[in-house]
Amino acid sequence: MTNRRDKQNSAAEKANPVSAVTIAGVRFGNPVIAASGTFGYGSEYADLLDVSRLGGICTKGLTLNPRSGNSGRRIHETPSGLMNSIGLENPGIAAFIEKELPRLRNLGPAIIVNLSGSSVDEYTDGARLLDETSVDMIELNISCPNVKAGGMMFGLNPDAAALVTGAVRGALRHKPLMVKLSPNAPDIAAVARACVSAGADALSLVNTFKAMAIDIRTGKPVFDNISAGLSGPAIRPIALRMVWELWEALRTPAGKAPARPVPIVGAGGIAGAEDALEFLMAGAEAVQTGSATFVHPQTMIEIIDGIEDYMTQHGLSNPGQLSTRKAAFQGSVKTAGT
């Protein structure tokens, strides 16, 4: 019988072997990952593209218990973007493990589960359940309100982010932990450093930007929750700048905190190979694609092909060579120290 790892390796071999990447000990067949909340559990797209060619699939946000999601309108299109207020509708982790995971496992790509919660206990209880499954990695969604702290998102404050990251890291015995950062944090570098110090093995950024829309026919906000998350091409230049700056921030000591670089997975408005290449050149080791898949389901396949074509044309043997920042940064550090 073919096991899950054989299926993943088989999927990886469908892509050019030189495009494989390893993040926090997990091998991805290529650096293109389906972003959380835009690809369901993978099987929903099986009739629209060859899902096995993807580097990885990040599930929609999962919580310990089932959630019905937000009331009212949930999607609103904007120029070059999309606003959503889904509210983490999901069947709960136990139902996911029983019903969705077997189908997802058979698709082949590496599996990342996006874990959400409203309290530290909810996060850790969910993490313990997932830790005993065949998923490859946990992506911690800290853009969630902490009900014990007046509803403020965990990801806006370094101390709160460190608290939940450390707790989940302590609950996981087998799985690597990637923390998904909120671009709405006043100091995203401080939050990132706090998460890394608390045990994050990797970071993904960015999540959606807080935004809103008003229905001019009623004079009221479009969404019942007033604000919603903005994604799509409109946010790409900002997300790219954040990845660029965070790559360097993690390699620069801050006060008494030492430099602690970890892998970065870039996301935000990536809709083509050129977009993905920009993020990889900025320091990301992989990218996540989301909203573009709604418009054109073949987007990620075209991005994979485009990256591999670029690497072939430029004589590159692995995606890590796309970024010249490592050599440049090491050279600048050496110069500063002489």
pLDDT recorded at residue 2: 43
Is 144 known to be catalytic? yes
CATH number for the domain spanning 149: value is: 3.20.20.70
* Orientation angle between helical segments 158-171 and 188-197, nearest 10 degrees: 30
Domains: count for the chain: 1
For residue range 91-126, list pLDDT tens digits in order.
999 999 999 999 999 999 999 999 999 999 999 999
Taking 50 as the pLDDT cut, the residues of the chain under it are 1-2, 4-5, 7, 9-10, 12-13, 15, 335-336, 338
pLDDT recorded at residue 114: 97
Q: Output the pTM of the full model.
A: 0.91
> What phi, psi does 105 have (nearest 5°)?
-60, -35
Task: Write out the H or E segment, with its range, that includes residue 115.
Answer: strand 110-115
Whether residue 135 has a cis bond before it, omega within 30° of 0: no
pLDDT recorded at residue 312: 93
pLDDT recorded at residue 335: 46
Q: Which residue range is the domain that position 202 belongs to?
A: 4-337
Residue in 83, 142, 144, 286 annotated catalytic: 144
pLDDT recorded at residue 314: 93
For residue range 50-75, list pLDDT tens digits in order.
999 999 999 999 999 999 999 999 99
Task: Write out the H or E segment, with its range, that includes residue 228.
Answer: strand 227-231
- Residues 279, 246, 161: CA angle, nearest 5 degrees: 120
